[in-house]
Structure 1
Amino acid sequence: MAGNGIVRHPQDMVLLLKAAGEVTRLRLLALLAQGELSVKDFTEILGQSQPRISRHLKLLADAGLVTRHAEGAWAYYRLYREPASDGLVDWLTGNVDPQATELLRDREKLAALRQAHRDRAADYFATIAQSWDKLRNLHVADEAVEAAIIDAIGSELVGQFLDLGTGTGRMLELLAGHYENGIGLDSSREMLAVARAKLDEGEVAHAQVRLGDITDLGDYRGQADLVMLHQVLHYFDDPGVVLGHAAACLRADGRMLIVDFAPHDHEFLRTEQAHRRLGLSDQQVEMWARASGLNAVCRQKFPSAKEGGLTVCLWVLEPAELRNVKGV
């Protein structure tokens, strides 16, 4: 199959059609149209064994309909957005009856599964709200990272700062002298209680925190000069979707800062601390950014001094159109 997405051989088209032309694989494609999912997610939703699901996914991957990303002991899949396969998947999912029993049940199970993931993360946050900053210090060289964040923002005062997944409000507190108005969103009431107390203590009157879902940001669309995602994306099944919602909040000349872990193999963070992703690679962040109309203009890494510690990464993203105007 050519790199420009044109199918040049009949065999390629037959391969695509054969891969998509089976009920289970069609269900998998329909689910992936809702976002990135793991093999474990598919087994729970479809009620089929892991080997069987993996075989179906391999056929889809071999045909160029999906892409696979290994992450520790797990593997995540997403639709391969390339013209030939993309058009076929869009046609299939757009013409099949969405109320068909199996597809309807799959979507209901997917919604329940994702809600369970969110509930688990919320429960975790509720249990560690008071010690969240201390816990983060065990994994992150905070001083170096925070200095880099301040340096990335620069000396010019930011108008509207939107901190998504604000947690204890540390970013609102740290950057208090760098923005005119700050809003922190989080889904944990316990975290917000801590954040409010810290902001009150620090007399940060120009910032507020709100209970909210950072995948439902319609009220903030196009309003932010700076959006922050600080140690947030690894808690989501599909970080690209979250990044897309966050990007929609940016003004035309806004910027986004992402702080998260580099890829690692500490499975306990998934099993014990509700992490859905074992770190994010540069390639993943750049791919998600491009899909959201952004470009990565700066990347920095901060390895831990501890043996077996985690590396923290800082990415600065800007709208692609702004970058083109600058001639970068």
Structure 2
Amino acid sequence: MSSPAEKLPVIGVSGLVATLRAVSEETRLRIIALLAEGELSVSDLTDILGQSQPRISRHLKVLVEAGVLERHREGAWAFFRLAEGMSTGLLQPILAGLDPQDPGLSEDRERLAGVRAERSRAAQSFFARLAPRWDELRSLQVAEEAVETAILDVVGPGRLGTILDLGTGTGRMLQLLAPRAARAVGLDASHAMLSVARANLARSGQARVDLRQGDIYAPPLVRGGFDLILVHQVLHYLDDPARALAQAARLLAPGGRLLVVDFAPHGLEFLRETQAHRRLGFAREQVSAWLDEAGLDSRHAGDLAPSDGQGDKLTVSLWLGCDRQVAPASTIHDREVA
């Protein structure tokens, strides 16, 4: 296992000087302290710090150019977070040395809590409008607790390395698995759903999960970067599920795993109208073939049928695809393949 020192980012003298210059300003240091709690938008930082948007944007530009922050777009919005490795490496002594009782930092944290509360209210308002549709679908399938237990059984115990939830929706899969991950990312095409996920994750104490807006057919993520990828109740909304799985497979690290959770074939045609389903479930062989075509060793990982045995209920199926490349020995301890 790597020692803490081995996880520090490697940086040259000029880069280190640029980084130290970037953080050695009061507002920028306050920004870094806030982003250590999770990603924020320019608007969030403007509200918290009480400064103009142009001024905040200039500070953010300096920090991004110095490699301290990462920026990603979500529709018309831009979100910022500490660059990968910064919060646990170069900036750790600086963040640890800040007095938590400092009046300015305390006020920033209070305003951050207010921003998150407002986010949560807006997200819950949006989700309340969708709730009748979600409740109808939940009433047709096996209990979510049983599905989540099955997912945990397939994933297995231990650390999970880097994980990605494609079509993250409300962020529930990230809430379930992110505490065991070195890094967790959620991707969704909907800004509104990402707002719901962001509020849910903040409420559960997991605000540092990386949420991105993007197309599942062209995910804006580095290939080979994830040890575990989930595609949970997403395929039935897609016109081309095979292409989505092929794109997901390209994101797997050597020896990584792709877990697909979706419905078995069914005849509930009304779901096309009321729930926007494009596909009425998938046969075991179909998804297994798609995973095989994507270059993964595939196995059907189980079915969960409603216990009441009613024919108009939905069965949930799980498939697991494993990358055929051998994982480097140094990473095996981070994920115990089920």
* Class of the TM-score when normalised by the shorter of the 2 chains: 0.5 to 0.7
Displacement of 1:303 after TM fit?
0.5
1:203 is matched with which residue? 205
* 1:305 aligns with one of 290, 300, 307: 307
Which moves more between the two structures, 255-264 or 146-155?
146-155
1:232 is matched with which residue? 234
Opposite residue 236 of structure 2, the aligned amino acid is H
Which moves more between the two structures, 227-236 or 306-315?
306-315
Displacement of 1:132 after TM fit?
6.8
Distance 1:203 1:132 in 2: 27
Distance 2:326 2:290 in 1: 17
Q: Any idea what SS the aligned residue of 1:285 has? A: helix
Alignment pair present for 1:216 and 2:218 = yes
Distance 2:142 2:222 in 1: 30
2:184 is matched with which residue? 182
Displacement of 1:298 after TM fit?
4.3
Displacement of 1:192 after TM fit?
1.0
Relative to structure 1, is the Cα distance of residues 297 and 283 closer, same or farther in structure 2, using a 3 angstrom cutoff? Answer: closer
Q: RMSD of the TM alignment (CA)?
A: 2.2
User: Are the counterparts in 1 of residues 127 and 196 from structure 2 also a CA contact under 8 Å?
Assistant: no
1:291 is matched with which residue? 293
Relative to structure 1, is the Cα distance of residues 127 and 143 closer, same or farther in structure 2, using a 3 angstrom cutoff? Answer: closer
2:244 is matched with which residue? 242
User: Are the counterparts in 2 of residues 216 and 245 from structure 1 also a CA contact under 8 Å?
Assistant: yes
User: Are the counterparts in 2 of residues 255 and 316 from structure 1 also a CA contact under 8 Å?
Assistant: yes
User: Are the counterparts in 2 of residues 185 and 212 from structure 1 also a CA contact under 8 Å?
Assistant: yes
Displacement of 1:235 after TM fit?
0.6
1:155 is matched with which residue? 157
1:173 is matched with which residue? 175
Relative to structure 1, is the Cα distance of residues 131 and 225 closer, same or farther in structure 2, using a 3 angstrom cutoff? Answer: farther
Distance 1:243 1:234 in 2: 12
Instruction: Tell me the percent identity.
Output: 45
Which ranges in structure 2 are unaligned for 5 or more consecutive residues? 1-125, 328-338
Please list the CA deviations of residues 232-280 of structure 1 after superposition, one character each: whole Å capped at 9, or x if unmatched. Answer: 0011111100000011000011001110000001001112211111001
2:321 is matched with which residue? 317
Q: Any idea what SS the aligned residue of 2:202 has? A: helix
User: Are the counterparts in 2 of residues 129 and 168 from structure 1 also a CA contact under 8 Å?
Assistant: no
Distance 2:132 2:260 in 1: 22
Bigger proportion of residues as helix: 1
Displacement of 1:181 after TM fit?
1.2
Structural mapping, 1:1-328, within 5 Å? 129=130, 134-138=135-139, 139-306=141-308, 307=310, 308-322=312-326
TM, length-normalised to structure 1 = 0.57
Displacement of 1:179 after TM fit?
1.1
Relative to structure 1, is the Cα distance of residues 163 and 128 closer, same or farther in structure 2, using a 3 angstrom cutoff? Answer: farther
Relative to structure 1, is the Cα distance of residues 182 and 134 closer, same or farther in structure 2, using a 3 angstrom cutoff? Answer: farther
Opposite residue 251 of structure 1, the aligned amino acid is A
Displacement of 1:210 after TM fit?
1.6
User: Are the counterparts in 2 of residues 126 and 188 from structure 1 also a CA contact under 8 Å?
Assistant: no
Distance 2:291 2:298 in 1: 7
Count of residue pairs brought into register by the alignment: 199
Distance 1:155 1:141 in 2: 22
Q: Any idea what SS the aligned residue of 2:154 has? A: helix
Which moves more between the two structures, 214-223 or 134-143?
134-143
Please list the CA deviations of residues 167-195 of structure 1 after superposition, one character each: whole Å capped at 9, or x if unmatched. Answer: 00000011132212111111112211111
Please list the CA deviations of residues 27-71 of structure 1 after superposition, one character each: whole Å capped at 9, or x if unmatched. Answer: xxxxxxxxxxxxxxxxxxxxxxxxxxxxxxxxxxxxxxxxxxxxx
